Amino acid sequence: MAPKTVFLAFAEQDELFRDLFTAQWARAGDQARFLDSPGDEACPQEWKKDVQERIRGCDGVVALIGGGTSASSAARWQIRCAVAEGKPLLGLWVETGHRSKPAEMGPARCESWTWENIGNFIDRL
């Protein structure tokens, strides 16, 4: 079975969590490959177009939810885009004690960051 492609949404200030997530996943296996947003937000319309195309090409979206997510217009836009595209969406809490789910997540679940929760999400894609 081909690996699933999953878009990884995150706030700019949570880049360290993104790096940790992708490094751990690289050691865990080849069940999925993860994409994230292009780094250059200098031209917002082009950036949004690029993000939307990446999300459209993915099987699902994982959103890393931390203390800065609610203040990050980029992270919130990525989540809204995933919902608008009808992609399966999973929020992962990245900070102990932070459990503020962004309204953009809608009815999508937010769970603890465990490889079991991530694997179960990927298996459902």
Enumerate the domain spans of the chain. 7-26+51-124
Written as tens digits, the pLDDT of the chain (125 aa) is 678 999 999 998 888 999 998 888 776 566 788 888 877 666 788 889 999 999 999 999 999 999 889 899 999 999 999 999 999 999 999 988 878 899 999 999 999 999 899 989 999 99
CA atoms within 13 A on the CB side of 17: 21
* CA–CA gap between residue 83 and residue 87 (Å, rounded): 6
Total Cβ atoms within 10 A of residue 35: 15
Instruction: Say which CATH class 7-26+51-124 falls into.
Output: alpha beta
